[in-house]
Amino acid sequence: MEGFKIRLLLTVCIFLSIVNANRTVFINPNNPWQVFEGWGTSLCWWANMFGGFPDVRDKALDLVFDLNKGLGLNVIRYNIGGGDDPSHHHMRIGGNVPGFLPCKTCSYNWTSDANQRWVLFAAKERGADIFEAFSNSPPYWMTNSGCSSGGHLFSNNLNSNYYDAYADYLTEVVKWYKEQGLTFRTLEPFNEPTERYWKYFGYQEGCSYICSVMNIITKKVGEYLNKKGLSNETSISAFDEHIIDEEIYTESCIDNDAKSYIGQYNTHAYGGTQRMQLFNISKQDNKRLWMSELGLYSSKNMSTSINLSEAILNDMRNLKPVAWIYWQVIEHAPNGNDGNDWGLIGADFSNSTTSLDKRLSFYGFAQYTKFIRPGYQIISSNDNDTLAAFDANSKTLVLVCTNKKHISDVWKINVSMFNISSFTAFRTSNNNETLNLLPNIWNITGGILTYLSPANSITTWNFSLAIANFTQ
Ligand SMILES: *[C@@H]1O[C@H](CO)[C@@H](O)[C@H](O)[C@H]1NC(C)=O
Ligand SMILES: *[C@@H]1O[C@H](CO)[C@@H](O)[C@H](O)[C@H]1NC(C)=O
Ligand SMILES: *[C@@H]1O[C@H](CO)[C@@H](O)[C@H](O)[C@H]1NC(C)=O
Ligand SMILES: *[C@@H]1O[C@H](CO)[C@@H](O)[C@H](O)[C@H]1NC(C)=O
Ligand SMILES: *[C@@H]1O[C@H](CO)[C@@H](O)[C@H](O)[C@H]1NC(C)=O
Ligand SMILES: *[C@@H]1O[C@H](CO)[C@@H](O)[C@H](O)[C@H]1NC(C)=O
Ligand SMILES: *[C@@H]1O[C@H](CO)[C@@H](O)[C@H](O)[C@H]1NC(C)=O
Ligand SMILES: *[C@@H]1O[C@H](CO)[C@@H](O)[C@H](O)[C@H]1NC(C)=O
Ligand SMILES: *[C@@H]1O[C@H](CO)[C@@H](O)[C@H](O)[C@H]1NC(C)=O
Ligand SMILES: *[C@@H]1O[C@H](CO)[C@@H](O)[C@H](O)[C@H]1NC(C)=O
Ligand SMILES: *[C@@H]1O[C@H](CO)[C@@H](O)[C@H](O)[C@H]1NC(C)=O
Ligand SMILES: *[C@@H]1O[C@H](CO)[C@@H](O)[C@H](O)[C@H]1NC(C)=O
């Protein structure tokens, strides 16, 4: 056994000396990028289930929103349910998010959606502080198809008789929550409106729109926010397109009057290449920019964490959003199944005492969320697999480095611009490491941190600085 271990070690050493390349990285605080406001998640299906699970919901909420016990997410997208025709049964488990207005002549039912609401307020108690409300579909009775999962043949589904009713509905919900002590900073009337993904009898709420209708709805929602005295605190976010290039297209087809009501552009990042263009457009239009949705299939090994990290890096470095939001942090995965859903945590939505299976990707995401905190300044690093953030208040420098290669790599990180007094490092890897605190064995010599990064790993460095200033 010992002999085997030694042979193994020797093999590993020889292997490393052959394949190691030295990667040099320079961290430049004099080139600041975006000031970050947080990591987030959308509530919807998982919250619609977990809010009704008193035995496990606190534990689940700790894992997602509490900084000490879990990811510490602080940005929340709350789903204003439309509500489907009660005679329909085609939604995924958790997908039938209740609406507040069951029919045209009904009055608002504010006891509706108690589960998702419980999660919303429990997240707030745990530190969540940025809230967006968004809609996947108008109530079914406002739609052309009479179904809140979409139109026949993926068609435009908001009935033109209900444009005002829809704007009134969304803003009435925002107004009611404000009266309950929760202010939505943004209200998003659309979700992936151009993708043509939403169909009659589909498995979740969805609604397609053509551009001219989005233009009308944006103005109407803006006018209703004004009329109800909500627009000082709540602006419109739009358009939550599936793909970055689609988001650019939709923004270009909206008129300036509609744009004047928009405070924030939201894009999903399931595809598209024009990240820098969208950053530029948002800047020109003076809109805050969010990467408001991405979800990735889970895996038993580091594959999902590496892909998630590469997605975060690509977005944070090129799109430069101020918030980055994972789709469903918890997903339905009965029998401990891992690989068929997008959850960072797997659970059984049909079991109110379900166990919570933290996947490796939970830790992969935690490598970012627990360290790069709201208010941190993202700064430049000349390496596509490194994200750097600086906080003058707490005198902290954070580096998250991803080795996506299937071999280990020597990193030489130039941190000479910073006056470092101490640091800790954490790693998630295939080698049974789940945000493990690493022994403090690396010295910084001449401003260079030398680090042997294992294959398929993510490492976070948390540096305490002696002084908040850096070399100019
Ligand atoms: C990497 O750096 C080490 C230590 O500085 C050096 O011995 C080695 O030759 C370098 N390897 C390459 C491929 O440059
Ligand atoms: C309001 O919603 C609650 C929760 O779904 C439901 O139990 C109740 O029957 C609804 N009230 C009306 C008047 O529809
Ligand atoms: C909105 O802000 C303006 C300017 O500060 C103020 O005059 C107005 O009263 C505010 N409206 C509401 C509804 O709070
Ligand atoms: C974005 O704007 C910058 C500064 O104006 C410009 O240098 C750059 O070429 C633009 N990039 C794209 C992709 O439009
Ligand atoms: C994950 O496992 C798959 C299948 O076993 C393998 O092909 C892949 O290389 C692994 N990836 C990582 C990052 O460990
Ligand atoms: C990660 O991305 C690679 C490259 O796109 C892909 O082949 C792999 O299947 C992805 N892993 C998972 C778990 O989806
Ligand atoms: C529900 O989950 C708990 C905790 O994992 C487990 O003990 C119980 O057997 C599960 N119940 C069912 C019906 O699967
Ligand atoms: C780093 O990313 C930029 C922007 O996407 C790209 O142009 C460049 O080629 C990448 N560099 C490497 C070494 O992959
Ligand atoms: C580290 O960066 C500083 C500042 O740019 C530079 O003066 C120094 O030469 C770099 N060190 C190495 C070893 O490249
Ligand atoms: C770094 O901080 C120490 C302690 O405050 C100070 O003595 C030293 O001069 C500083 N070095 C630089 C380069 O600022
Ligand atoms: C991972 O760690 C756990 C707990 O320390 C141990 O039981 C398990 O055997 C380890 N797995 C591997 C692949 O090293
Ligand atoms: C780091 O420096 C300390 C004191 O300067 C020394 O005791 C230790 O051996 C060094 N560690 C490594 C890995 O070089």
Would you write out the chain's pLDDT as a tens digit for each of its 472 residues? 333 333 333 334 444 444 467 899 999 999 999 999 999 999 999 999 999 999 999 999 999 999 999 999 999 999 999 999 999 999 999 999 999 999 999 999 999 999 999 999 999 999 999 999 999 999 999 999 999 999 998 899 999 999 999 999 999 999 999 999 999 999 999 999 998 899 999 999 999 999 999 999 999 999 999 999 999 999 999 999 999 999 999 999 999 999 999 999 999 999 999 999 999 999 999 999 999 999 999 999 999 999 999 999 999 999 999 999 999 999 999 977 888 899 999 999 999 999 999 999 999 999 999 999 999 999 999 999 999 999 999 999 999 999 999 999 999 999 999 999 999 999 999 999 999 999 876 679 999 999 999 999 999 999 999 987 766 5
Would you state the pLDDT for residue 471?
Answer: 63
DSSP string, 181-196: T---SEEE--SSTTS-
Instruction: Return the ∠ at Cα 302 (arms to 71 and 345), rounded to 5°.
Output: 40
Closest residue to atom 12 of ligand 9, CA basis: 414
User: What is the distance between the alpha carbons of residues 38 and 19, in angstroms, rounded to a whole number?
Assistant: 37
Q: Is the CB of 318 under 6 A from ligand 4?
A: no
Q: Is the CB of 466 under 6 A from ligand 10?
A: yes
Count of CB atoms situated within 10 Å of the CB of 92: 14
> DSSP class of residue 323?
E
Would you state the pLDDT for residue 16?
Answer: 46
Q: What are the residue ranges spanned by the domains of the chain?
A: 19-33+379-465, 37-371
CATH of 37-371, one of 3.40.220.10, 3.20.20.80, 3.40.50.460, 3.40.50.2300: 3.20.20.80
Q: If you measure from the C-alpha of residue 297 to the centroid of ligand 8, how many angstroms do you get, rounded to a whole number?
A: 25
Would you state the pLDDT for residue 21?
Answer: 72
Would you state the pLDDT for residue 20?
Answer: 60
Would you state the pLDDT for residue 3?
Answer: 37
Q: If you measure from the C-alpha of residue 414 to the centroid of ligand 9, how many angstroms do you get, rounded to a whole number?
A: 6
Q: If you measure from the C-alpha of residue 229 to the centroid of ligand 3, how many angstroms do you get, rounded to a whole number?
A: 8
Q: Is the CB of 19 under 6 A from ligand 1?
A: no
Would you state the pLDDT for residue 441?
Answer: 66
Class of CATH domain 19-33+379-465 = mainly beta
According to DSSP, the residues that pair with 290 across neighbouring strands are 266, 323
Q: If you measure from the C-alpha of residue 454 to the centroid of ligand 6, how many angstroms do you get, rounded to a whole number?
A: 19
> DSSP class of residue 258?
H
Closest residue to atom 10 of ligand 8, CA basis: 384
